[in-house]
Amino acid sequence: MNPPLPDRPTRICAVLTVAWLALPVQVAVSGELQIESLHWGFDGRVVAPAFNPLTVIVFNSGDDDLSGKLELQRLRSSYWPVGLPIRQPVFLSPTARRPVRFYPYVIGEFDDWRLSWISKDGTRREIDTGGWKLRIGEPATVLLQRSSRLADPSGRLRKLNESWFPSVSTATDGLAGVVLDHHPRWDVPRRRAFLEWLGRGGTLHVLEAPDGRPVAFGAGLKVLNGTGVLTRFGAGRVIRQPFGVDAIPDVLPPLSTGRNKRTVTGNSVLIYGVESLTRIDDAAIFSALRSITRPSRNWPLIYLACLVYMAVLFPGGFVYGRGVRDFRIVLGILVAIVAGFSLIFFLVGRRDDAAALTIRTATVAHHLADGDLEYRQWVEAAVTSGGEYRFTHQGRGRLYSTAQNLEKVVGRISHGGDASLTAEVPPYSSSTFLVHGRLPGAGTGLTLVEIEVTGGFLQALVLTTGAGFPETVSQASVMVGGRHYRLVQRDGLLQFDGVAGTLARSGLRGGRRLARSFDPELDQRREVDEVFEGMYDGLVLRSLGISDRGKAAHFSLPPDRIRVFVYAPATGQLAVRVDETADQVGRVLHTWDLQAAVPQ
């Protein structure tokens, strides 16, 4: 006989007792790690699409050491996890606080993120961030201050704790200018990242020190000392202002603040013609790369076999079975038909042309004045055998992202000295990701020999190439002001060919094959050379910081520089590193900024 069940009040008291006993443990866990503040970008806003810094100030309010990981996860519709999480290790002694830095890739203003704490024993807890919301803005100009001076609310510029400056220059796309009135106390990685940011086009405003004397930089920043009002540092500028922090005007002179400025001029022309609505965002690039890892199948033959198979089953099977026949013979013939057509479909549709791991890449590589190479690479990795794959690259300051908000990927992203992306890829599927890094000493020089511009139009241009210049050049062009011109390679020189015209062609070339029109895949199979040739114009725009063709109509470079583009096959130094043997093919858009006085 079953024992009598307790009455309702007794059960309620038991449940409340268990909940009360569990409550102190949950509160204790929640009380150990506290998030004191969150700071996006450099001025509370981010730029998109780009890697942006996120600084999280954590505090250990407990009496014991705290060890675990903070995890940052992208969300779709504020709920569904998508992409790969970024994890950073955290160790805090009792009553200690420290900043934890993430470098997430922001796609747009609809990005949502979740912050979680993973304790040492693997327990996961979502952290309440107070409903944080991204704000999209333009690259910022900020005043770097020591923490002791941040309490002063005065000033016309946003202030940033100098210790929060990123340790990698690849996370500084959202920074246009920096204002300093002292020598910052930085470690070697931050000094190097600051100089790399400045050398690739940033603007540094040096004010008078608090005591009224000129600022004297020391250690690795001595190269910034000088007496002139304007000093060039690579593609960047150092401007010495005749006032201190208290006298900063509403607009810092000069008005221009750096490489991200997009000048609109009256005589600019539409660079890319009728294709203004064609997408060139990350998803479009991934789609193009995905189309060339698809297997080559004879779709007309597959569809014909399907029709014959259906016709044989019905009405063929129905007509044959109507007569007085032994049912065992009918079933045997049916089994033979199914087995035979299964073998036909296997032979026709198998992936004999696919390697176990196929990697296709599209890269924008900018050659800097200091000899380094800064690159941004889109990767498509297709596999036939499922498993966990770890992808990495050469160089420093590497930042990884899946750069999509559609599907969840199992794996993780690690930033730091051994940065990598690890993903579990199912059989006969693929994974896409983006990496931004810097290769020290891998740049190649170009020398401007002759340039002639009349009435804003290029008349002549001759460039000499240095060691390491690509041996095979698919396409080459130059942007002067707001116009884009084709270049040709002759006798080791890059020259303007006036017959080629002044506007870049638009769209993809190459006819459609019959088999492709039958292809049911979302990203239909296309030939490698055709796809890479069609990506050239889009990569040119992405190298200029433009991800929407509609916004490119009036883009113009500053009048003191030109930009050269050279499209060539990828080399080993930009190859994806993975433990498994891979079939890798890619293209690289090499870019150079050259100083040249261009009359408007």
Q: Give me the residue label for tokens 């241009």.
A: 461
For residues 107 and 167, membership in a common domain is answered with no
> Which residues in 409-482 belong to E strands, given as ranges?
411-414, 420-425, 429-439, 446-454, 457-465, 475-480
Q: Give phi and psi for 22, each to the nearest 5.
A: -80, -20
Closest CA to 126 of 20, 26, 25, 22: 26
Is 566 found in the same domain as 434?
yes
Query: What is residue 5's predicted lDDT score, i.e. its pLDDT?
Result: 42
Percent residues over pLDDT 90 in the chain: 48
Q: What is the pLDDT of residue 327?
A: 79
Cα–Cα distance, 361 to 575 (Å, whole number): 8
Q: Assess whether 378 and 496 both reside in one domain.
A: yes
Please give the tally of structural domains in the chain. 4
Q: Taking a C-beta distance cutoff of 8 angstroms, is the pair 388, 427 a contact?
A: no
Domain-embedded: residue 574: yes
Residue 252 lies in a domain: no
Q: Are residues 111 and 149 in the same domain?
A: no
Q: Residue 511: what pLDDT?
A: 39
Indicate which CATH number applies to the domain containing 112. Answer: 2.60.40.10
CA distances from 81 to 74, 85, 238, 286, 408 (A): 6, 9, 43, 20, 6
Q: Residue 254: inside a domain, yes or no?
A: no
Task: State whether 197 and 114 are in the same domain.
Answer: no
Nearest to 475 by CA among 529, 528, 542, 533: 533
pLDDT value of position 153 = 54
- 486, 498 contact by CB (below 8 A): no
Would you list the DSSP string of 201-265? T-EEEE---TTSSPP---GGGGGG--SSSEEEETTEEEEE-SS-GGG--SSPSSS--STT-----
**So what's the pLDDT on residue 103?**
97
Task: Say whether both 242 and 149 belong to one domain.
Answer: yes
Q: In this structure, are 336 and 426 located in the same domain? A: no
Between CA 513 and CA 530 the distance in angstroms is 12
Q: Is residue 55 part of a domain?
A: yes
Question: How many angstroms separate the CA atoms of 320 and 335, rounded?
Answer: 14
Residues 159 and 237 reside in one and the same domain: yes
DSSP state of 557: -
Judge whether 5 lies within some domain. Answer: no
**CB count in 10 Å sphere of residue 128:** 10
Question: Over the range 455-464, which residues count as b (16 or more CB within 10 Å of their CB) and which as e?
Answer: ebebeebbbe
- Beta strand 175-180 with 140-145 is parallel
For residue 296, the model assigns a pLDDT of 66
Helices marked H in 511-568: 514-517, 528-534, 536-543
Q: Which two tokens stand for residue 435?
A: 């990496």
Residue 328 is part of which domain span? 299-349
Taking alpha carbons only, the member of 289, 302, 287, 293 closest to residue 350 is 302
Q: From CA 107, how far away is CA 132, in angstroms rounded?
A: 16
Whose CA is closest to 373, among 398, 390, 400, 402? 398
- The closest of 110, 177, 167, 571 to 365, measured between CA atoms, is 571
What pLDDT, on a 0 to 100 scale, did the predictor assign at position 385?
85
83/549 Cα distance (integer angstroms)? 26
What is this structure's pTM? 0.82
Burial (CB < 10 A; 0-12, 13-18, 19+), residue 508, is middle
How much is the pLDDT for 278? Answer: 55
Q: What is the pLDDT of residue 12?
A: 43
pLDDT at residue 525, rounded to an integer: 66
148 and 59 within one domain? no
Q: What amino acid is encoded at 184 in this protein?
A: P
Both 35 and 171 in a single domain? no
Q: Please check whether residue 131 lies inside any domain of the structure.
A: no
Is 408 exposed, middle or buried (CB count within 10 Å of its CB: 0-12, 13-18, 19+)?
middle
Whether 467 and 392 map to the same domain: the answer is yes
- Give the C-alpha separation, 435 to 362, whole Å: 11
Whether 248 and 207 have beta carbons less than 8 Å apart is answered as yes
How confident is the model over 507-561, as pLDDT tens digits?
Answer: 333 334 444 445 555 556 678 888 999 999 999 999 998 877 766 777 888 888 8
Nearest to 461 by CA among 481, 442, 443, 444: 481
519 & 374 share domain: yes
Q: What's the alpha-carbon Rg for the chain, to the nearest Å?
A: 30
Residue 159 lies in a domain: yes
Distance separating alpha carbons of residues 577 and 586, to the nearest angstrom: 14
pLDDT less than 70: residues of the chain: 1-31, 130-131, 149-155, 253-279, 295-297, 324, 350-354, 499-525, 550-551, 599-600
Task: With CA atoms as reference, report the closest residue to 157 among 260, 241, 35, 50.
Answer: 241
Q: Is residue 199 part of a domain?
A: yes
Give CA–CA dist 90/88, Å, rounded. 7
